[in-house]
Amino acid sequence: MAGRFDTATIKEQVYQILRQELVRQRYKPGEWLQENEIAERLNVSRSPVREALRMLTGDGLLVEIPKKGVYVRKLTEDKIRENFSICCLLEVNAIQSLHDLQTEAAEALLACLSRECTAYPDRDPWEKQAEESLHALLMWLAGNETAVQIHKKLCDQLLLIRVSALSCQSDAERSSSEHAKIVEYILEGCLERAADLDRAHLLRTQELVLQYVSRK
Kindly state whether residues 128 and 197 are assigned to the same domain: yes
* Neighbour-count burial for 161-171, b at 16+ CB within 10 Å, e otherwise: bbbebbeeeeb
Q: Is residue 2 included in any domain, yes or no?
A: no
List, in order, residues 6 or more apart from 150 with CB less than 8 Å away.
86, 90
Residue 168's pLDDT is 63
Same structural domain for residues 116 and 142? Answer: yes
Clarify whether residues 193 and 96 are in a common domain.
yes
pLDDT in tens, the chain (216 residues): 444 555 558 889 999 999 989 887 888 889 999 999 999 999 999 999 999 999 999 988 999 999 899 999 988 999 999 999 999 999 999 999 999 899 999 999 999 888 877 654 444 444 444 445 899 999 999 999 999 999 988 988 888 876 555 656 667 778 888 999 999 999 999 999 999 999 999 999 898 888 888 876
CA 23 to chain centre: 9
State the pLDDT at residue 23: 80
Same domain, yes or no: 40 and 114? no
C-alpha torsion angle, residues 188, 193, 194, 199 (rounded to 10): 180
Same domain, 153 and 65: no
Q: What is the pLDDT of residue 2?
A: 43
> For residue 124, what pLDDT is reported?
47
Domain count, the chain: 2
pLDDT of residue 107: 94
Residue 189 and residue 93 share a domain = yes
What burial class does residue 204 get, using C-beta atoms within 10 Å of its C-beta: 0-12 exposed, 13-18 middle, 19+ buried?
middle
| pLDDT at residue number 148 | 94
Q: What residue numbers bound the domain in which 34 lies?
A: 7-72
Same-domain pairing of 66 and 87: no
108 within domain boundaries: yes
- Could you tell me if 122 and 33 lie in one domain? no
CATH classification of the domain holding 44: 1.10.10.10
Domain boundary among 72, 91, 119: 72
Q: What is the pLDDT of residue 52?
A: 94
pTM equals 0.80
Q: Looking at the domain assignment, is residue 1 inside a domain? A: no
